[in-house]
Amino acid sequence: MTDPAVLPPAEAHAPARAARPARVIARDAGAVSVPTPRARRSRGRLATAALGVAMIALSASWFSAWALPLAALAILLALVALISRRARRDLAWWALGLGAGAVACSLFWVAMGLRAAAEVAAR
């Protein structure tokens, strides 16, 4: 295992215009050094998820009050993203605003439902 392993020339498998010279890979008889992967920092995945949930919640809250849990989830995710220093803060602020708008629209539908229930109960 002390001989270098030679790869076949690239022109044997590819057309001549894409040919590359062969590489020589030397193998050592000792321990193999494997680089450890670096931990990649998240760049706004939480804020992006919060924004997506907030947009869905706002769209759904125009039609019913059932989007209130989604809006609360969007606000929670946006707040966690704002606390995190790695997240994209602009997306998190947008998610917080859209989530608040979705809560307001959902509460409108809750108020309309309570008003209708009170009218039915008064009859």
pTM score, whole prediction: 0.63
User: Which two structure tokens, joined as six digits, stand for 95?
Assistant: 């998610």
**pLDDT tens-place string over residues 21-54:** 655 556 655 555 566 676 666 566 899 999 999 9
Contact 93, 50 (CB under 8 A): no
**How far is residue 78's CA from residue 43's CA, in Å, rounded to a whole number?**
14
Would you kindly state where each structural domain of the chain is located, as residue ranges? 45-122
**pLDDT tens-place string over residues 62-96:** 998 899 999 999 999 999 999 987 778 899 999 99
Residue among 40, 54, 41 nearest 95 (CA): 54
**How far is residue 31's CA from residue 44's CA, in Å, rounded to a whole number?**
39
